[in-house]
Amino acid sequence: MLNVTVEDRNDIVILRCAGRIVRGEETALLCAASQQHGRTVGVDLGRVDAIDAAGIGLLVSLQAAGIYLRLMNPNEHVREMLRLTHLDSVFEVSGPLSTQEMPEGRPANDELQSEPRTFRLTA
């Protein structure tokens, strides 16, 4: 199962994924990302257990559709999949957002004064 939590951070939307981005379970990520056209979308992969060809294909399709994806916190398995498919040169791949990268006036995650708008999508 894939759970996606959406956090709106003004100039970036963060999709925090937990579970598996695999065939049949990638719908939640597709729904959440497709609503963000024209904005930078940070996809937090830190809690992703598995990704398969369908999951990789979904990321490529979203990028091709004009949704700029920034892949954050990929574990070793996900990082290796990106490397093997040469997609590590297509996507921006980074760690978590730093304090300097947060939108103006917004503290980092562990210092939030008020919660970002968050809702869960489950495939």
pLDDT one-digit tens code per residue, 47-98: 999 999 999 998 999 888 888 899 999 999 999 999 999 999 999 999 876 5
The whole domain housing 51 covers 2-102+117-122
Distance, C-alpha 28 to centroid of its chain: 11
Task: State the burial class of residue 116 (Cβ atoms within 10 Å of its Cβ: 0-12, 13-18, 19+).
Answer: middle
pLDDT score for 108: 44
Residue 107 placed within a domain: no
Kindly state the average pLDDT of the residues 92-119.
53
How many domains are there within the chain? Answer: 1
Rounded Cα–Cα distance for residues 78 and 66 (Å): 22
pLDDT, the chain, mean:
79
Residue 35 placed within a domain: yes
User: How many other CB atoms sit within 10 Å of the CB of residue 122?
Assistant: 11
Structure tokens at 92: 């921006």
Residue 14 placed within a domain: yes
